[in-house]
A and B are shown apart, each in its own frame.
Chain A
C-alpha cells in the first residue's frame, strides 16, 4: 500500500511543477501545497482517490543527499572543454539534469531528482536520525559502516553487478584496486560492496609552502610538533582526523621501524595501530594535543595544512592560478585512505523497485567515465572509476599531467595499481618531475604511498564516546586551570550579580510599599 501510494503521489506534484513553468505559477503552487499537505497529514489512502495520471510517462522521484560541492553543476565555458583522443568532454548542464535526461531516454521513465547536500558525516547522520528521508546518500567509509551495522541500508541488487550489461558503468569501470577493497573490507560479516558503491576516494596529507617547509619536514607526522612551525600549521577541525594525526605522530618511531615494515602482516598491523583506541592511547593523544599547544594548531598563519587529497588538489589549483606554488606530501609513517560511497537507505527506498532501479542507475551514470572525469575536474577529488574497457580516464590523466614536448625533467609515474588488475600493466605516465609532489601525486598517490595507507574504521559507541570526550577536553578551557586573578574576578562578578539580585528584590518591595502608600493616600 505504502509503495503504490508513494508512486502515485509523485506524478501529481511533478505534474504541477511542469505546468508551473507554463505560467500558472500561483495556482499550481497552491495545488502543490494542498497535495503536499494532504500527503503529509493524511495517510496514503486518502490520496488514491485524488490521483490522476498527469502524463503517460511513468515517473519516479529520487531523493539524493551528497556532500556539498561534490558533483559537477555544469555551465562550463567553451574553452574549458577537455579534448581527449576518444572524444571531448564538457559539462554543459548539471550532472543531475543530464542524469534525468539520460534515464528518460534509456529507460523511458521520468525521474525527478531531489538533490540536497550535507556538510559532514555527522551532520548527515543527524539528519537521517531526525527523520529526513533520502533514497541514496554518499557518506564516507566509517559512516556507511555505521549505517550498515545499524541495518539501515538496502543491499545493491544482483543486476547492479551484472558485467554483461553495458549500462552498468560502475561494475564495468571501477578500479580493480578499489573493487578489491570494497570486496574485502567488512563489518558484521558483510562486505562493503554488498551495500556501497564507491564514488570518490583519497588519502590525507599535508599541503605545504615549499619556500618555508622542506619536503622532508612535511613528509612526517612529526611535522605537527616541529617547534620551527609553532602555530603556523593547521589541522582539520574534527576529532577523527586529529586523532589519526596524533596517533601517527606518537607512533612515528614504531611505524618506521624496520621490523614493523618488514612484517608480513604489515597492512593489517598498520590498520590496527592506526585505529588504536585503548584508553592509554586516548590519554596520550590528549596530552599530545594539549601540552605543546597542538590545539592552537587548528588555527594559525598557515605554512602547512593537513588536508584530504581532493581538497589539496583544489587548493593547489587555486594557488597555481595566483602564481603561487604549494606542494603535497604524505607522511612517511602512514596515511589515512578514505572512500566516499553511495548507499541506498531502507527508509527511503522502502521496497520500491522502481526507485531502487533509478538509484542504482544514478550511481552507474556517475560512474560513466566521461561523467567521472567531469566530476573530478569540477571538484578535485579522485573518482573510484578507472574506466575498465574505456581508455578515457587514463587519457584524461595523460592530458592533464603528462609531460609536454620540451619538458626537460621528466620521470615515469606508475599508476598500475589503480588501472590494471594485479597491478601489472603498462599504465606508466611520463610526467614532469614536479608532478610527483603536486596535483598528480595528490590525486593518484603512487604505489608506495598506497602501501602505507590505512582506513580509519568505524568506532563503536564506547570508543566514540571516549574519543569525543578527549576532543572536548582538548578544546575546552578547563576551570581548574583558572589563574588566581581569574578566580578573584569571577568571585567579584558573582558577588556583583548577587548584589544586583538583592537590590532588585528590595526595590521591588519598596515600590510595592510606595504604591500601597499612594493608594492609601488616594483613598479618602
Chain B
C-alpha cells in the first residue's frame, strides 16, 4: 500500500465517522420517530406548541444575549487597549486573561459562588443576575482573544492614513478600526452566545432552578423521552446552523469591503 499524505487524515476520518456522524444519525433517528420506532413529526410540532419549550428557548436566548452583551462590553475595550498599547509584556497580560481557563471549570464557579455570597448574601434571590455573572466569568476569555487577535493584526498604516487625511481619533476608530474588527467580534459572539444557551451547569451551581435548553434536554432524557429530547437537540442544532450562516463569512465580506476602501 502506498503511503500518501492523504492517509494522514484517516485517523480523524475514523474518529469523525464513529463519534460525529454516527451519533448524528442516531439523533436524527430518535428525533423523527416515536417510542415504537415509527416515523412521526409530533416531536417537532410538539416543541413549537409547548409553551414550556418555547419559554425555555426564550429564557436561554435572554441569558445568552445578556451574557454576550456584557462580555462584549467588557472585552472590546480591554482587547483594544491591549492590542494598541505599546506595553512590552503584552503576552503576559494576555496570559493573565486566559489563565482562568486553565483552572477546572467547576472549581472556578465554586470560587465565584463564594465571592458572590459575600457580596449578595442569599444567592437564591437573584438567579438571573447570578447566571449572567457566572456565564460572563466563564466565557469572557473567549470574547477577548478573537477581538484582541483581530485588532493586533490590523495594518497600522490604515489608521495612520486616516489620521493623515484629517480624521480625529474618534472618527478613525468608528470608521476604520471598529469595522475592521467586526470579524473578531463575530467569532467572539458565536463562541459565547451558543454555549451560553446550553451551559446549565453554571445555572445549577449558582442557584438558578429555571431550565435552559441544556437542562430541558436532560429532563426529557431522565423521563425516558429520548425522542423529544433528541428533537430539542436537533432544533438547537438548526438554530446554531442558522446563526452561523447568518454571521458566518459576513466577516470576510466586511474585511474585503474594508480593504476595498483603499
A residues apposed to B, CB below 8 Å: 120, 122, 125-126, 129, 231-232, 237-239, 295-296, 298-301, 464-465, 468, 471-473, 475-482, 486, 489-490, 493, 497, 500-501, 504, 507, 511
Contacts and interface: CB of A to CB of B under 8 A. Distances in A.
A471 B208 contact: no
B124 A504 contact: no
A232 B122 contact: yes
Range for the number of chain B residues in contact with chain A: 35 or more
A508 to B, nearest CB: 9
A97 B215 CA distance: 38
A295 B208 CA distance: 9
Nearest to B226: A126
> Looking at chain A's contact residues, is the secondary structure mostly helix, strand, loop, or mixed?
helix
A296 B124 contact: yes
Contacts of B208: 299
Contact of A300 (B51, B54, B61, B122): B122
Given A231-B122, A475-B210, 10 more contacts: A125-B224, A126-B221, A296-B127, A298-B209, A468-B225, A476-B53, A476-B211, A476-B216, A479-B52, A493-B65
Contact of B55 (A295, A298, A476, A489): A476
Given A478-B52, A480-B51, A507-B253, A472 B219 contact: yes
> Looking at chain B's contact residues, is the secondary structure mostly helix, strand, loop, or mixed?
helix
Contacts of A300: 122-124, 207
B14 interface: no
Interface in B213-255: 215-216, 219, 221-225, 245-247, 250, 253
The 7 closest A-B pairs by CB, nearest first: A299-B207, A300-B124, A479-B55, A476-B52, A468-B223, A477-B59, A231-B124
Nearest to B219: A472
A490 B58 contact: yes
A122 B223 CA distance: 8
Nearest to B117: A301
9 contacts: A122-B221, A231-B125, A301-B123, A472-B219, A475-B215, A477-B52, A477-B56, A486-B62, A500-B247
B58 A301 contact: no
A504 B61 CA distance: 22
A126 B246 CA distance: 37
Given A122-B224, A493-B65, A500-B247, A301 B211 contact: no
B145 to A, nearest CB: 24
Nearest to B130: A299
A511 B260 CA distance: 13
Given A296-B127, A301-B117, A482-B58, A477 B211 contact: yes
A479 B54 contact: yes
A301 B122 contact: yes
Contact of B58 (A122, A129, A477): A477
Nearest to B59: A477
Given A301-B124, A479-B54, A480-B51, A511 B211 contact: no
B121 interface: yes
A476 to B, nearest CB: 4
A500 B122 CA distance: 41
Contacts of B59: 476-477
A501 B246 contact: yes
Contacts of B207: 299-300
